[in-house]
């Protein structure tokens, strides 16, 4: 045996011995614990080899059924992991024990390498998190603030309708413009006038590249943080090079609109917006530091980088569901016609008078929850639940997709059926409202959920009132319905599909134009 082979063999033997020693140590540490049920683990890998590369939520749901557990314990390499498949358990642990469960695992890939460290979604619980949370809550949870956004939401809903009337084949682009335009106005005072808006493109590209490349909490570098120190010249460091490319996109997305607001403030031309308000708040005390600016960039950036993508996913899902279920759409249109009539568009004040439309919105959220696994939490210290021990440091994954597929709550869960909520009594319908899941839990719940819900409702109500949606036909005149499939990922979007969108009448165009022209911000 030559010397190089001898060295390699010795190194392999040493690594093997170290690995076995580490495994035995972990086994000993766990031997006295009564862990929740879960799949059998093997040395080193734990259960990671049993997880598919995509759609892990389906595997977690299968584990829940197999081990008859609302909670399932697994290990991803050395990381203890608790999967929550039940809304009740999520509320009991993540809501009621939020002081223990509000932390985040170390997102090495997303935060350290890709540059998302300054956004609240990726921060662990602490002073910086609370500061960002306070800023966002002031903007989106105060009743006066929410009310002040309604003219903007109406205007953008009318702009959405106008775009769908003019170029219905670009419905996805119009939905993206709708979602981004509201956030860009609120966060930066920027009015979107075109589908080619540069800020929309910046956010879309940074978000798309991030979601496609990095799934939070499951990349190897997250489970083995030492990998982030691998030199770029070393074999196997390609993930770092790709992460740094995405980091440049993320920085442009965060920096470009922030600098626009700063320049406008210097020249006295800045429009009222969240970024200007936060800068003024800091300036009233001192000159902004680099950390201050990074916090403000992150607070505004998380709105237009993340919130828009989930809104697009929900509205695209609504369009898909209506194409596949014309009977639902016709029933919703009949209700809107009875309440709103033909001479105006729906207003927020009409919402309580449109109970079936409310059921449709709930079913859209349930049928394709926008973020199937949310973002993982981290348990900061040891805990006990239902007689089981949960080790401190565990990654806690709320399987929101699995919760929305609970067939004891939602019979035939794969079916799109808004009537399921009509058939529940008021208390049950409230308890099983999917919006109690899809916006997250505890101190990690989305602070902008009321704004997002209102924006989605006014868009859906406006579309139902004015447009017909149907299946396209091929060249032979045969209907070509979409498959109804979804693209797996951090955010669940429908696969590309086509549909036919037409005005319900000629009067619609006049009503949309007149009401859009009369909106005053």
Binding-site residues for heme sit at: 446
How many whole angstroms separate alpha carbon 363 and alpha carbon 365? 5
Pull the structure tokens for residue 133: 């949370």
Comparing CA positions, the residue from 277, 252, 250, 247 lying closest to residue 265 is 277
How many whole angstroms separate alpha carbon 416 and alpha carbon 420? 9
**Other CB atoms within 10 Å distance of the CB of residue 170:** 15
Mention every residue, 6+ apart, whose C-beta is less than 8 A from residue 82: 36, 71, 72, 73, 379, 390, 394, 395, 396, 397
How many whole angstroms separate alpha carbon 26 and alpha carbon 32? 11
How many whole angstroms separate alpha carbon 307 and alpha carbon 176? 11
Q: DSSP per residue over 60-121, as a string?
A: HHHHHHHTT-SEEEEEETTEEEEEE--HHHHIIIIITTHHHH-B----IIIIIITS-TTSGG
The binding site consists of 446
Comparing CA positions, the residue from 393, 60, 56 lying closest to residue 215 is 56
Pull the structure tokens for residue 521: 């911000």
Residues 63, 86 contacting (CB under 8 angstroms): no
H or E element that contains 395: strand 395-398
Where do runs of H (alpha helix) occur along 233-369? 238-267, 274-283, 290-302, 308-324, 326-340, 355-367
How many whole angstroms separate alpha carbon 311 and alpha carbon 329? 20
């Amino acid at each position: 045996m030559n010397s190089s082979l001898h060295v390699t063999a010795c190194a392999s033997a040493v690594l093997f011995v170290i690995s076995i020693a580490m495994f035995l140590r972990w086994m000993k540490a766990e031997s006295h614990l009564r862990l929740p049920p879960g799949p059998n683990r093997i040395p080193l890998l734990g259960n990671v080899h049993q997880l598919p590369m995509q759609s892990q939520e389906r595997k977690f749901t299968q584990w829940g059924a197999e081990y008859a557990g609302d909670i399932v314990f697994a290990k991803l390499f050395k990381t203890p992991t608790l999967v929550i498949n039940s809304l009740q358990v999520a509320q009991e642990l993540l809501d009621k024990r939020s002081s223990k469960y509000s932390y985040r695992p170390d997102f090495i890939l997303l935060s350290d390498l890709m540059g998302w460290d300054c956004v609240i979604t990726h921060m662990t619980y602490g002073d910086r998190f609370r500061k960002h949370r306070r800023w966002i809550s002031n903007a989106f949870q105060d009743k006066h603030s929410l009310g002040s956004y309604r003219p903007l939401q109406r205007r953008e809903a009318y702009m959405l309708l106008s775009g769908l009337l003019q170029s219905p084949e670009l419905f996805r682009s119009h939905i993206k413009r709708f979602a981004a335009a509201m956030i860009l106005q609120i966060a930066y005072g920027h009015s979107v006038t075109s589908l080619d808006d540069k800020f929309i493109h910046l956010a879309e590209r940074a978000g798309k590249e991030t979601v496609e490349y990095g799934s939070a909490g499951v990349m190897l570098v997250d489970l083995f943080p030492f990998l982030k120190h691998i030199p770029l010249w070393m074999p196997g460091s390609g993930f770092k090079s790709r992460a740094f490319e995405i980091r440049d996109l993320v920085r442009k997305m965060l920096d470009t609109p922030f600098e626009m607001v700063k320049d406008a403030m210097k020249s006295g031309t800045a429009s009222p917006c969240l970024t200007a308000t936060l800068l003024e708040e800091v300036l009233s005390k001192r000159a902004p530091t680099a950390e201050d600016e990074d916090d403000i960039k992150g607070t505004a950036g998380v709105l237009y980088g993340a919130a828009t993508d989930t809104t697009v996913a929900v509205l695209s899902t609504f369009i898909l569901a209506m194409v596949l279920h014309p009977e639902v759409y016709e029933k919703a249109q009949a209700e809107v016609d009875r309440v709103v009539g033909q001479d105006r568009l729906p207003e927020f004040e009409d919402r309580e008078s449109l109970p079936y439309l409310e059921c449709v919105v709930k079913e859209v959220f349930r049928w394709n929850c926008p973020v199937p696994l949310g973002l993982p939490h981290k348990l900061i210290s040891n805990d006990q639940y239902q007689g089981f021990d949960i080790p401190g440091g565990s990654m806690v994954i709320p399987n929101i997709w699995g919760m929305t597929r609970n067939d004891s709550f939602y019979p035939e869960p794969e079916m799109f059926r808004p009537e399921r909520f009509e058939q529940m009594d008021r208390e049950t319908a409230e308890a099983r409202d999917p919006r109690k899941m899809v916006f997250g839990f505890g101190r990690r719940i989305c602070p902008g959920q009321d704004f997002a819900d209102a924006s989605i409702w006014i868009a859906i109500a406006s579309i139902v009132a004015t447009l017909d949606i149907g299946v396209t036909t091929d060249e032979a005149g045969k209907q070509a319905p979409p498959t109804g499939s979804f693209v797996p990922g951090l955010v669940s979007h429908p696969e590309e599909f086509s549909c036919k969108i037409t005005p319900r009448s000629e009067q619609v165009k006049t009503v949309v134009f007149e009401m859009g022209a009369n909106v005053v911000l």
